[in-house]
Chains A and B, each alone.
Chain A
Amino acid sequence: MPNRSTQSTTEQNTIGNLFEFDHDGLPLFRRRRHLIDTQDLLKEEVDCLMEVAALCKKNHQSEVEPLAVLSGKTIANIFYENSTRTRSSFEMAARRLGASVLNLDTKVSSVAKGETITDTARQLVSMRVDAIVQRHSASGAAAHVATELGDKVQIINAGDGWHAHPTQALLDFFTMTEIRGSLSGARVAIVGDILHSRVARSNMWLLTKYGVDLNVAGPPTLVPAGLESFGVTVHNRLEPAIEGCDFIMVLRLQMERQKQGLIPSVGEYKKLFRLDHARLQLAAPGVRILHPGPVNRGIEITDALVDDESKSLIDAQVANGVAVRMAVLYLLLTGKESVQ
């Protein structure tokens, strides 16, 4: 058990704001155990999360000691797919809140010997881990573990196949609202490989809740069937999608898509879909660019645009990622006992 008296002193010194914080979304989070996708998040929850993320960002930027709100909690990172930024972002977020972090190396653990993801998670449950942050290549992997073990451990989806990457969408949302305030009526484009993108899907679910004019563009072979059902406008060319846009999200092009025959060549892709300063003239004057990373400089976006601080929000996204993930962990992992 953590030492409560020491902890409360620390808390009072550093996060008074968080304790006085109140919001309509808080009771909703008290009932929520997992974060699997943005699809089932209510607006009240998102709004609440954004406000907490803003507080977390202030804390993170001021060089005070970590908060202790999650002290005594253990959060396990299981990344079955390689990731540097999301994993380190979650790890930093957890540590900033005083939680212990367990990083499971899936290459040397029993996972490599064919153990199922549920059995791996079950081992962590036996070790009394409070939450599992999981990334896996199969769509539905997070929902699967939540269905199997959800009463024993909280699941946070750090990306499952092509399905969802909710914290990325939330940090994108946070980054855009920092610039523009409300996104209602904003025109946003998501461009590139939509088919394989969990980031695109989670952003579509989230942004369409807020009345965003959402446009999607990619080569027809990389745009999945029935995409209109998300409430987005689908374009085959980049230009009509980005016209008048306030924000453009550029997706990473996986180089193996050419080998799979989904695009004829990277050269042709660049010609048709690479975002550069010239094409940006079509967008709204104050347009800003987002990219979930890692960037293929010169492929889906020009070098110059990545480095153009007046346009690119890529560094802000990374910085905001820690704050948003702190908010996610804080809201999901606290306040449970007091209610039940």
Chain B
Amino acid sequence: MTTPYVLQGGLVLDPASKQESVMDLRLDGDRIVALGGNLEVKPGDTAIDARGLWICPGFIDLHCHLRDLGQKDKEDIETGTRAAAAGGYTTVVAMANTEPPVDNAATLSVLLNRIADRAHIEVLPVACVTKGMEGAELTNMVELAEMGAVAFSDDGLPISNMAVLRRALEYARLSERVIISHAEDRDLCQGGIIHEGARATAMGLSGIPIAGETVAIAREIEIVRSTNSPYHFTHLSCAQSVELVRRAKADGLPVTADATPHHLTLTVDQIQGWDANYKMKPPLRTQIDQEALIAGLKDGTLDAIATDHAPHTRQDKCRPLEEASVGVIGLETALALTLERLVGAGHLRPLEFIALFTSKAAPVLDLPQPSLQIDSTANIAIVDPALRWTYSTSTGQSRSHNSPFHGRLLTGKNILTFYQGRPVFTDKQALQNRLKEPV
């Protein structure tokens, strides 16, 4: 049992209730039990001086790869959720493209057992849309949903056959789950390594065209129009993709979308030499695309920021760019990078910003609304928005090191995460003068 906690004088940011005020919180057991000014600190309580800090609902990541099963040299449930907790997350949605992929009840059952045994926070597993992610035969979506699959996706690969996608969307209604789209036209993207344009040409690399994403989104939107089943576009990278989703939403279609921290903070021109830590799918695009993603976050076209945390070993990444694995880790840097980019640059107010990790992310997959009210589950991220720190993959929690942000000076950091009332991440250094242990 942990002691009760009293969080004193923090700025409580609760986007669901639009609450934004300096208050104390009392946590006891797995609940928030009191809210208000000057809460009493009783003997046996742990008090935290939270002045200058943001008290937020625990974050939700709609898209990460924890690699358990089968790729534990990259990440597993334990290390992945430790990294997530460090980033302020209390719920992560784990993609199904593991080895083997999560496309049947037996595999899902193994994964659920691992989660029960090893996860530090809530892990919601995604199951595949199609068997073996081959884009042909549907999985037992109802059975998998009943077991605990939170959504369906073949992420990592697109569903290229629109007849299959249409059946999947129709059938998914029985499962009452959302399908998450990895929108990529494989013919147009064939062999592509980075964004098509001057940089790819100069490096002698095959380019990934804008149309490689927009063509897929456009036709998938038309399938949604004909089925009216909920559909989520993850990791949008292009300006025109944002516009397509904006129009679909205006038409009343049940679509949602997210963008990653790396697409919000890096462009193709910022790729450093031949460093494979800048290789991801979709690829880093241009300044115009990045600005459109930000505009989409501001006007509600995009619902959430999702990491697409994609761990790879040094061996997978340390190869000529063409041969290196695709993806970057992001759970531990997501908050700081986007805080600087969106709040620091004046695009969003803190409450709007935190909503992208909490209240606006939850409805995408019909998750319970995270909140900071009396009797809410005590899932809390405590952020120091002014803390300057240098991110290092070697002191990070993830098993992998494939981040282009290694060595980057960042402002803003999650310093304490509560999951069901228990601290699951503590930045001891940042908290050393704030923590008053019980006597």
| A residues whose Cβ falls under 8 Å from a Cβ of B | 39, 116-118, 136, 138-141, 143-144, 147-148, 160-164, 198, 201, 224-230
Contacts and interface: CB of A to CB of B under 8 A. Distances in A.
Interface range for B: 20 to 34
A229 to B, nearest CB: 4
Given A139-B205, A144-B319, A163-B205, 4 more contacts: A138-B322, A140-B322, A147-B273, A162-B206
B204 interface: yes
B201 interface: yes
A340 to B, nearest CB: 24
B320 A224 contact: no
Interface of B: 196-207, 209, 273-274, 318-323
A140 B320 CA distance: 6
Contact of A138 (B199, B209, B320): B320
A249 to B, nearest CB: 17
B203 A139 contact: yes
Given A162-B204, A224-B207, A139 B197 contact: no
User: Closest 7 CB pairs between A and B?
Assistant: A163-B204, A226-B198, A162-B204, A229-B198, A139-B204, A138-B320, A224-B201
Given A139-B321, A162-B205, A163-B204, A225 B273 contact: no
B320 A136 contact: yes
A140 B198 CA distance: 16
A116 B209 CA distance: 29
B257 to A, nearest CB: 26
A163 B193 CA distance: 13
B200 A224 contact: yes
A226 B269 CA distance: 13
Contacts of A141: 320
Contacts of A164: 204
Given A164-B204, A201-B202, A230-B202, A144 B197 contact: no
Given A143-B274, A163-B204, A225 B322 contact: no
Nearest to A139: B204
A228 B198 CA distance: 8
B322 A227 contact: no
Nearest to A161: B204
A225 B204 contact: no
Contacts of A139: 203-205, 320-322
Given A162-B204, A224-B207, A225-B207, A118 B318 contact: yes
A160 B204 contact: yes
